[in-house]
Amino acid sequence: MTDAAAQSASPEEAADAATAAAATAGVEIRLLNNVDDFTRVAELFQSIWTKQGENSPVNVETLRALSKAGSYVGGAFEGDELVGACFGFFAAPEQRALHSHIAGVSSRMRGRSVGFALKVHQRAWALQEGLDEISWTFDPLISRNAHFNLVKLAAAPTSYHRNFYGHMADALNGADDTDRMLVTWYVRDPQVVAASHGESAAVGHEAAEAEPLLSVGEDLGPLRHRTEARFVRVALPRDIESLRLTEPARATAWRLALRETLGSALEGGGRVLSFDRSGAYTIDRGEQG
């Protein structure tokens, strides 16, 4: 176990990790609690998710209510400019959990670890509030999101949901179904402690043993494979977001293929073990038969 992972998960440890992550990203992160800041969050999210003339995925009134109720609303600032934001709401009291609903970073700041700094700040807040876990959903077809959530943050995939949000047709999701993977971030887990200090989750030996279940075909479409192997690999297209704009039928074929492989494996009791740099999930399907 590394020195970072050996540290006890405490509000003090988490605050130190959050301070370091913000410094690396070159931003200041703070809780938001006034209408002016909520307006800026709504405008930022509108610029990220919607087409011209469409409404933001969140409004000022909702952010105001969440903040007043004690839920998490955080923002990342470069100077006076809001460049990232994240908000979530409490789960049922006995779960001691937060559901993180939306996190986004301005296009100008992508690649500078602002999203990571926001999540590490959110973890510090959760520990201060006495919570044990944070959950959220993400599009399992987007490779960079899978890497961020499973490798960079060491979040644990817990379930696959078909058409979770229904029809959205926004600038990022297109007009297809909104399949999502739910992940849980166990904020006191040693792997999460290590990840919060910048130590990415390792890929296990099972990845080397895994047989392909879904790969990228020569036409860049999904290619299914028959295998009875316990450990399997499910690959993703290089850029599903571009496919949704240029070849929506092929993008839909990928969503259906992922639903039938990754989704069915999780629904059948399988576990996602890792996500590697080639853009593939390694799945333990358990004992077959």
Rounded to an integer, the average pLDDT of 164-169 is: 78
Pairing verdict, β 156-161 and 280-284: unpaired
Instruction: Give a yes or no: residue 55 inside a domain.
Output: yes
Specify the pLDDT at position 24: 98
Mean pLDDT check: name the lowest of 67-81, 193-207, 238-252. Answer: 193-207
Instruction: Give a yes or no: residue 289 inside a domain.
Output: no
CATH number at residue 24: 3.40.630.30
Specify the pLDDT at position 5: 46
Hey, how many other C-beta atoms are within 10 angstroms of the C-beta on 108? 11
How many CA atoms does the CB half-sphere of 82 hold within 13 Å? 21
pLDDT for 6 beyond 70:
no
Out of 176, 196, 216, pick the residue that ends a domain.
196
Written as one letter, the residue type at 190 is: P
Kindly state whether residues 46 and 90 are assigned to the same domain.
yes
Rounded to an integer, the average pLDDT of 144-153 is: 96
User: Running DSSP on this structure, what letter comes out for residue 55?
Assistant: P
pLDDT for 158 beyond 50:
yes
Kindly state whether residues 10 and 123 are assigned to the same domain.
yes
Rounded to an integer, the average pLDDT of 233-250 is: 94
Specify the pLDDT at position 22: 98
Specify the pLDDT at position 8: 79
Specify the pLDDT at position 1: 39
Residue numbers of the domain that contains 47: 3-132+187-196
C-alpha distances (whole Å) from 217 to each of 179, 237, 243, 246 are 22, 9, 14, 18
Kindly state whether residues 86 and 226 are assigned to the same domain.
no
Specify the pLDDT at position 9: 86
Specify the pLDDT at position 51: 62
70-111: pLDDT as tens digits: 999 999 999 999 999 999 999 999 999 999 999 999 999 999
Kindly state whether residues 192 and 237 are assigned to the same domain.
no
pLDDT for 41 beyond 60:
yes
Specify the pLDDT at position 208: 84
What is the Cα–Cα distance from 51 to 172, expressed in whole angstroms? 9
Specify the pLDDT at position 174: 57
Residue 286 burial (10 A CB sphere; 0-12, 13-18, 19+)? exposed
pLDDT for 169 beyond 70:
no
Out of 171, 196, 221, pick the residue that ends a domain.
196
Q: How many domains does the structure of the chain reveal? A: 2
Mean pLDDT check: name the lowest of 20-34, 132-146, 155-169. Answer: 155-169
Rounded to an integer, the average pLDDT of 259-273 is: 96
Average pLDDT, the chain: 92
Q: What is the pTM of this model?
A: 0.91
Instruction: Give a yes or no: residue 163 inside a domain.
Output: no
Rounded to an integer, the average pLDDT of 148-163 is: 96
Kindly state whether residues 58 and 191 are assigned to the same domain.
yes
